[in-house]
């Protein structure tokens, strides 16, 4: 391996392993689920693709999971950096964001066993990808998919990113397949919250179809800026509305994955060789303020005025805002249960599920549904901030990976499509992509301009975030600075 990396040529390796839970675990993605999983529809995988050369390396790891907790990413990177001699900043760990995989919080002993086994499996897979590296060639192209709808705008306008980045890696001399890396900006939510079986959703079907088309290849999916984008097959409902995600569309997962794979295969047939295929990677960390950092009464006033400034919370102001949200919630839930104060009723982790049940049973009109579900969302998030230092700043990783003319920036959360558009504009190229759900997780990552919308305080993606409104601007500014670094310009 070392001797090959010293030559002026690209080397590449790939590997995969099964990470399907062997026990029934609570599932991630939908708060309506209150019991563990039951059965497996299709397996979950961990994929690893290694690219190395004299000017740098990249170890890309894709997981069929809801997200990548920061603690998990750090543990895997530390071990791979020491065992595989790959710099930790050249390792990117990204999730597909399937909503039918396990919850990754260590909520009980079963989940802790799964997380420990997951760490070991991913490390082994990354090592194998590095150890099997051989001289390779890289081909690339960009496709187009008409599969999605912007749920934030309800398709009016339908602001989605149709681009499908595709990278194919083959052995240099034999042209035998090594790996295919591809992406799509769409939430994997075809199966809905009533599905209780483990599944990789449409990305799993797409990866399997690509691997069938190119026997011997490892197909790795990355989810690009999809925070506010869902499959068109989903009802055109508000993002907060549980009725929009209730149905289980088994056939749609396979159909969507098949159509995506067909486009990937078409692009590969016409893909161009990448002449400068040496990977270059740089990662930095930014200190970014906590999200809910504004006064309760003043914040509500600013929300109505469209001013998203959120700084200067005190403990009393946090509590005042929390009380306001609890009052709204009890207007709805109290009528169902007879409970008239927050008390233990709002302590339960099943709050989101109970509120969803009320929406469905009482057939709440959209305005009332939004009022209840937005209050539940804000209550849960503000409560979590009451349990920690509200003045803290988060260390947020941002990673830039350059392959030929492609510039990928990996962000730790759910970037909205506007964030991907901003990065594309900054790159002055259609080959600039944002990879989400990577290296850590800070929930939704909206664009700062979206906090200037008059209804931002009632929109799911601008409520459910851990970071201050300027977060993505800071991260993309840092990514731009990285792009001017000598290692990327060499």
Give the pLDDT score at 278.
87
**Maximum CA extent, the chain:** 73
Domain edge (last residue) among 367, 386, 405: 386
Average pLDDT over residues 115-129: 97
Both 219 and 317 in a single domain? no
364 occurs within a structural domain: yes
Position 482 in a domain: yes
140 and 198 share one domain = yes
The domain boundary residue, chosen from 341, 364, 386: 386
Reported as a pLDDT band with limits 50, 70 and 90, residue 214 is very high
Q: How many of the other CB atoms lie within 10 Å of CB of 235? A: 14
- Same domain for 270 and 309? no
Q: Residue 271's pLDDT band (boundaries 50, 70, 90)?
A: very high
**Same domain assignment for residues 277 and 324:** no
Mean pLDDT of 249-270: 95
Q: Confirm if 46 and 174 have CB atoms less than 8 A apart.
A: no
> What is the chain's length?
490
pLDDT score, position 75: 96
**CA separation, residue 464 to residues 12, 374, 445, 457 (Å):** 39, 9, 9, 10
Chain centroid to Cα 319, Å, comes to 31
Q: How far from the centroid of its chain's Cα atoms is residue 310's Cα? A: 24
Name the pairing type of β-strands 134-144 and 148-150: unpaired
Is the pLDDT reported for residue 255 higher than 90? yes
Q: Is the domain of 81 the same as that of 130?
A: yes
Residue 309 lies in a domain: yes
Let me know if residue 339 belongs to a domain: yes
User: Looking at the structure, do residues 22 and 142 belong to the same domain, yes or no?
Assistant: yes
Could you write out the DSSP letters of every residue in 461-488?
Answer: HHHSBSB-TTHHHHHHHHHHHHHTSHHH
**Mean pLDDT highest for which of 245-254, 366-375, 449-458?**
366-375
Q: Lowest-confidence range among 122-126, 237-241, 246-250, 420-424?
A: 246-250
Q: Is residue 450 part of a domain?
A: no
Domain with 28, as residue range(s), is 2-285+396-445+456-489
Regarding whether 251 and 162 lie in a shared domain, the answer is yes
Same domain, 309 and 263: no
CA gyration radius for the chain?
22
Q: Dump the DSSP string for 325-363.
A: HHHHHHHHHHHHHS--S-GGGGTSTTHHHHHHHHHHHTT
The total domain count for the chain is 2
Share of the chain above pLDDT 90, in %: 72
Query: How high is the mean pLDDT of the chain?
Result: 89
| Residue 391 located in a structural domain | no
Q: Note whether 69 and 89 are same-domain residues.
A: yes
Is a pLDDT exceeding 50 seen at residue 195? yes
| Together in a domain, 143 and 238 | yes
Confidence band for 306, pLDDT divided at 50, 70 and 90: very low
pLDDT at residue 387 greater than cutoff 80: no
- What DSSP character marks residue 114? H
Looking at residue 143, what is its pLDDT?
97
- The answer to whether residue 451 sits within a structural domain is no
Residue 270 lies in a domain: yes
Enter the DSSP assignment of 82. Answer: H
Q: Do 192 and 274 reside in the same domain of the chain?
A: yes
The model carries a pTM of 0.93
Residues 314 and 266 in one domain: no
């Amino acid at each position: 391996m070392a001797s090959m990396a010293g030559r002026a040529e690209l080397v590449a390796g790939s590997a995969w392993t099964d990470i399907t839970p062997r026990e029934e675990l609570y599932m991630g993605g939908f708060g309506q689920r209150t019991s563990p999983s039951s059965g497996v529809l299709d397996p979950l995988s961990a994929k690893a693709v290694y690219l190395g050369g004299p000017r740098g390396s990249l170890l890309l790891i894709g997981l069929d999971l809801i997200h990548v907790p920061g603690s998990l990413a750090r543990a895997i990177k530390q071990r791979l950096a020491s065992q595989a001699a790959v710099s930790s900043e050249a390792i990117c760990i990204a999730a597909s964001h399937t909503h039918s995989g396990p919850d990754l919080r260590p909520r009980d002993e079963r989940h802790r066993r799964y997380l420990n086994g997951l760490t070991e499996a991913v490390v082994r897979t990354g090592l194998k990808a590095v150890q099997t590296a051989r001289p390779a060639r890289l081909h690339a192209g960009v496709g187009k998919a008409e599969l999605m709808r912007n749920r934030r705008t309800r398709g009016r306008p339908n602001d989605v990113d149709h681009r499908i980045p595709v990278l194919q890696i083959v052995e240099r001399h034999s042209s035998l397949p090594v790996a295919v890396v591809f992406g799509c900006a769409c939430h994997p939510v075809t199966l809905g919250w009533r599905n209780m079986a483990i599944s990789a959703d449409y990305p799993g079907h797409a990866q399997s179809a690509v691997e069938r088309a190119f026997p011997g290849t490892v197909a790795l999916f990355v989810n690009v800026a999809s925070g506010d984008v869902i499959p068109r097959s989903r009802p055109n409902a508000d993002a907060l509305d549980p009725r929009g995600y209730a149905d289980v569309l088994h056939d749609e997962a396979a159909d969507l994955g098949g159509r995506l794979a067909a486009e990937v295969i078409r692009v590969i047939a016409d893909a161009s060789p990448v002449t400068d295929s040496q990977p270059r990677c740089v990662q930095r960390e930014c200190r970014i303020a906590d999200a809910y950092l504004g006064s309760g009464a003043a914040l509500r006033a600013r929300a109505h005025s469209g001013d998203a400034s959120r700084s200067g919370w005190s403990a009393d102001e946090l509590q005042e805002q929390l009380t306001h949200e609890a009052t709204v919630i009890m207007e709805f839930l109290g009528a169902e249960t007879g409970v008239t104060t927050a008390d233990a009723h709002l302590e339960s982790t099943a709050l989101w599920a109970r509120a969803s049940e009320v929406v469905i049973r009482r057939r709440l009109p959209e305005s009332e549904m939004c009022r209840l579900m937005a209050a539940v969302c804000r209550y849960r998030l503000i409560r979590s901030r009451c349990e920690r230092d509200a003045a803290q700043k988060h260390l947020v990783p941002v990673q830039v990976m350059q392959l030929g003319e492609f510039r990928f920036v990996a962000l730790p959360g759910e970037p909205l499509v506007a964030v991907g558009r901003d990065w594309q504009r900054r790159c002055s190229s259609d080959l600039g992509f944002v990879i989400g759900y990577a290296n850590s997780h800070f929930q939704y990552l909206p664009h700062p301009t979206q906090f200037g919308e008059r209804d931002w305080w009632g929109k799911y993606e601008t409520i459910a975030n851990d970071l201050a409104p300027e977060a993505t601007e800071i991260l993309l500014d840092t990514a731009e600075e990285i792009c001017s670094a000598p290692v990327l310009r060499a």
